[in-house]
Amino acid sequence: MKNNTVLNHTTTSSSRTTLNILFALSLAHMFNDMFQSVVSASYPVIKDNLALSFGQIGIIALIYQICASVFQPVFGVLFDKRPTPWYLTIGTASTLTGLLILAFANSLYLVIISVAFIGLGSSIIHPEASRLTHYASGGKHGLAQSIFQVGGNLGGAIGPLLAALVIAPYGQRYMAVFAGVAIISMLTKRPIVKWYKARIKTIQSPAGKREVIHRVRLTKKQVYYSLLILLILIFSKYVYTASLSNYYTFYLIEKFGITTQQSQFFLFAFLFASAVGTLLGGPIGDRFGRKYVIWFSILGTAPFSLLMPHANLFWTCVLSILIGLVLSSAFSAILVYAQELLPTKVGLISGLFFGLAFGIAGIAAAVLGNIADHNGIEYVYKFCAYMPLLGFVAIFLPNVKPLRNGSH
């Protein structure tokens, strides 16, 4: 059997969960998503500096999301077939380049080039880090993905806060500060590089070739049917998430008359709540089944999303926090569920689902930006409030439990 096929094998449930590597991967995810959210939270500053419309902001978000999504499945296949410890560092180097360009961008075209570099960096980091998280889990896939995802959510929450403290008061050029943070991020990946080098050598040894693949009791038709349902759920979650991550600050500024800096603190509250919810979702999925986490996470958001467009500032903040807590566990549960459907294609699944999440969010950002230009930002939130209702399709998912003997 070829080495690249062997690398797709999952570890047995008795394998030791490598917690220090999981936390290092979570830290890598935190830095990556912090840079992403700094860019998104800086849209009002960039819009004012360059006199852009909501539609142009939507185009910037679309280009970024395309670069951060379309290439993810491609990179995922590459990482499965040609493993190397240096992919995460390469991804961070691309992000560093984009941040430096963005700091001094004085035209729409330079902004687009900068976010393309940042997007490519993210499209490398997400599937590779998620794949390595799977390998370091020791069979506790839900817990491992929660640790990994909570890093991303914390980074996403810290980003707007840092943007409020650094970019909003001092200007776009202070984006260069985050380029310096990207260098620090590259240095923190050294333990992952060392661990993965050792893992590659171990898997290439005769003992490593005896790892067992855990399969599920589903036919190929049921697997594809389940993947289709998961795609619908990804669509529902990320269309609604796009309205919050890209336009929540604009919504608060326009409806309640608060400042840009104040709006970024509200965005921080939502994103921090998302980080807390993510940490809870994985272990609950390991214990009770991912299907129920997915179902509750998306459909359970609907009452809060439907109320939020009609709430005052205080209750808007409260409802957004509740939405963050409930909705945030969905993606890690969906990703692990899909990985258990196709356990020999972990890199491909990671890239595909991260890519779809980013792609749907990018297209939604562009569409919602145009809707906001023509119908107002409040209309966007009234329209998107119905998206979590699509979560009802999760009831049709089969219960997935990998076999421990590796056979059907």
CATH number at residue 320: 1.20.1250.20
Tokens at residue 82, please?
């040609």
Q: Is 408 contained in some domain?
A: no
CA 57 to chain centre: 20
Residue in the block written with tokens 């570099």: 117
Please tell me the distance from the alpha carbon of residue 35 to that of residue 158, in angstroms, as a whole number: 9
Name which of 195, 48, 163, 152 is nearest 99 in CA terms: 163
Q: Is 200 contained in some domain?
A: yes
Show the domain range for 339.
Answer: 3-396
Q: Is 144 contained in some domain?
A: yes
Give the list of residues 6+ apart from residue 221 with CB closer than 8 angstroms, or none: none
Contact 354, 126 (CB under 8 A): yes
One DSSP character per residue, 6-27 reads HTTPPPPTTSPP-HHHHHHHHH
Q: Strand, helix or coil at 256?
A: helix
Name which of 26, 28, 131, 121 is nearest 347 in CA terms: 131
Please tell me the distance from the alpha carbon of residue 358 to that of residue 140, in angstroms, as a whole number: 26
Q: How many domains does the chain have?
A: 1
Q: Is 404 contained in some domain?
A: no
Tell me how far CA of residue 383 lies from CA of 218, 249, 324, 406, in angstroms: 37, 17, 18, 46
DSSP 2: -
pLDDT at 7 (0 to 100): 35
Q: Is 385 contained in some domain?
A: yes
Tell me how far CA of residue 27 lies from CA of 21, 135, 155, 177, 260, in angstroms: 10, 17, 9, 19, 28
Helices (H) and strands (E) in the chain, counts: 19, 0
Output the tens digit of pLDDT for each of the chain's 408 residues.
333 333 334 443 334 557 888 999 999 999 998 998 888 778 888 888 888 887 888 788 778 877 877 788 888 878 777 878 889 999 999 999 999 999 898 888 999 999 999 989 988 998 888 888 888 877 777 778 888 887 887 787 788 788 888 887 887 888 889 989 999 999 988 889 888 888 777 665 555 444 444 555 677 888 888 888 998 888 888 888 878 877 888 889 988 988 887 887 888 888 788 778 877 777 777 777 778 888 888 888 999 999 999 999 999 999 999 998 888 877 778 888 887 787 777 777 877 787 777 677 767 877 888 888 888 888 888 888 899 998 888 888 887 654 443 333
Q: Is 406 contained in some domain?
A: no
Q: Is 129 contained in some domain?
A: yes
Tell me how far CA of residue 216 lies from CA of 9, 11, 219, in angstroms: 14, 15, 9
What burial letters (b/e) apply to 52-89, b meaning 16+ CB within 10 Å?
bebebbbbbbbbbbbbbbebbbebbbbbbeebebebbb
pLDDT tens string 256-310: 988 887 887 888 888 788 778 877 777 777 777 778 888 888 888 999 999 999 9
Name which of 198, 160, 196 is nearest 178 in CA terms: 160
Name which of 114, 110, 27, 32 is nearest 72 in CA terms: 32
Q: Is 402 contained in some domain?
A: no
Name which of 346, 337, 341, 300 is nearest 322 in CA terms: 300
pLDDT tens string 143-185: 788 888 878 877 877 887 888 888 878 878 888 899 899 999 9
